[in-house]
Amino acid sequence: MLKYKQIFILCLLAIALFATTAPIGPNDLSRYLSIVSLAKGEGLVIDQGLQQADTMDKILIKGHFYSDKPPLFALTFAPIYYGARLSGIALDNKYLYKLAILLIMGTFFALAMTLFYKEYAARFPELQWLLLGLIFATPYYVFNRVLMSHALVGSLLYIAFYLIRKKEGSYFPLWAGLLSGLAITYDNGAGFLFCSFILYLSWNRRWRDLVLLVAASLLPIIIHLLIVYQLSGSWLPLNTHSEYFNYPGSYFANGSGSGNLKFSEPFSLLGYMLALLFIFPFGYLSKGLFLTAPILIFAFIQMGREARAGKAAAFTLLIGILLLFFYYALTSNNLAGGDYAVRWFIIFMPLCLPYVVKYYAAGENKKGWRGWFNFALIVSLLISLLYSFVSWLGGVTPLF
């Protein structure tokens, strides 16, 4: 069995090798401009950065442009760039960009996947090969290579749920709460998974741990709300204000802000839900959840089995995932933009990985299933490998 330090180092090396050296789309460019602005002491205003590189993911408040992304994500990365500035390193250095991804995204990815390996290699030592494959077999890994919040949120949520499940009666629920609260400030969808954590603790009557979890989560959430209120005079997320997108040349003008998209024709609700899971109707480019990571089909089969058996973890996680799915099915219409996968779903992908392992371990006596399982795993790995080199917005990902 590989040692846990070896898994941690392997994960870091994978991110170090394949992390991008520049933003590959408007989403990560918007975040990058906020980080650089903070490092320069200009606050969250990105007016100066937009003179060098423009992004559609921006809002206009009182005559100044800001990123429409949650501000705490930029504040997390800003110290790295501020330190580089004090050291005389140019803030547009491409290897500084890669280093920032490695230090934040890579570290939490490595920690989450080391905990995953540690727990399930001990339970299923004969399945080390499967554990290693699953670490790199979903968009969760691929998105940890770029400056996007969704994969980082997935890591935070996995670590938080690990602490909740494994550290009963200790003060680890405090850490789980801090990580969960931070995840919610990065991606509002994490709130649905946080509800799963609350239900899990309530199911097991761990009231002390529940209080610690919720109380600790409020700290980053309150900080986030205070920053948002200072910028906009409102407690609502910045990208839900359609009026902030009404400026000349806006891609999201006339009430279609990037966080305020609504379902529209010609797609029926059922068709759109199928698109989120499998394939986009009418021959459009496919990027549904189970097409970009077919191995996750087996995770949901196993989660369903355990939920029917009354197992708390599977039942409560399924509730949070279903709430997340229906929220985006009812409030969006663009499959999360131009990325190769539905990035909204990345936040729960690491939480699904243990159920893939348990499905395989429970299916040893069944006939005919192993070929399909191995096929799904190989396809998932090939898709991840492909998008480690190829940008989903066209061209080759800048790695060096």
- pLDDT category at 364 given cuts 50, 70, 90 is low
- pLDDT category at 90 given cuts 50, 70, 90 is very high
Residue with tokens 């990571």: 293
Answer whether 149's CB lies under 8 Å from 28's CB.
no
Reported as a single tens digit per residue, the pLDDT across 111-146 is: 999 999 999 999 999 999 999 999 999 999 999 999
Residues 276-281 have a mean pLDDT of 66
Specify the pLDDT at position 261: 41
Sign of CA dihedral 288, 293, 298, 303: negative
Paired strand residues for 61 = 64
Segment 387-391 long-range contacts (CB within 8 Å, at least 24 positions apart): 387/139, 387/142, 387/340, 388/18, 388/142, 388/145, 389/18, 391/24, 391/25
Please give the radius of gyration of the chain, using alpha carbons only, rounded to the nearest integer: 21
Is the pLDDT confidence value at 260 over 60? no
What is the rounded distance in angstroms from the CA atom of residue 166 to the CA atom of residue 194?
17
More confident residue, 108 or 290: 108
What is the rounded distance in angstroms from the CA atom of residue 11 to the CA atom of residue 50?
34
- pLDDT category at 54 given cuts 50, 70, 90 is confident
Answer whether 167's CB lies under 8 Å from 213's CB.
no
50, 54, 333 from 57: Cα distances, Å: 11, 9, 17
Ranked by mean pLDDT, the top range of 2-6, 9-13, 383-387 is 9-13
What is the rounded distance in angstroms from the CA atom of residue 389 to the CA atom of residue 209?
43
What is the rounded distance in angstroms from the CA atom of residue 352 to the CA atom of residue 330?
23
Specify the pLDDT at position 272: 77
Answer whether 314's CB lies under 8 Å from 114's CB.
no
What is the rounded distance in angstroms from the CA atom of residue 203 to the CA atom of residue 90?
52
What is the rounded distance in angstroms from the CA atom of residue 326 to the CA atom of residue 273?
8
Q: Which of 2-11, 12-21, 386-395 has the lowest mean pLDDT?
A: 386-395
Q: Average pLDDT, whole number, for the chain?
A: 88
The pLDDT > 70 percentage for the chain reads 89
Answer whether 320's CB lies under 8 Å from 195's CB.
yes
Q: Where are the domains of the chain?
A: 4-389
Specify the pLDDT at position 27: 87
End-to-end CA distance of the chain: 33
Please state at what angle helix 207-232 crosses helix 172-186, rounded to 10 degrees: 30
What the block records as the tokens of 296 is 């996750």
Specify the pLDDT at position 124: 93
Reported as a single tens digit per residue, the pLDDT across 217-259 is: 999 999 999 999 999 888 888 888 888 888 888 877 765 554 4
Reported as a single tens digit per residue, the pLDDT across 315-361 is: 999 999 999 999 988 887 766 666 667 889 999 999 999 999 999 99
What is the rounded distance in angstroms from the CA atom of residue 365 to the CA atom of residue 201?
34
Is the pLDDT confidence value at 190 over 60? yes
* pTM, rounded to two decimals: 0.93
Q: Is 130 helix (H, G, I), strand (E, B) or coil?
A: helix
Specify the pLDDT at position 282: 41
Residue with tokens 């949901």: 300
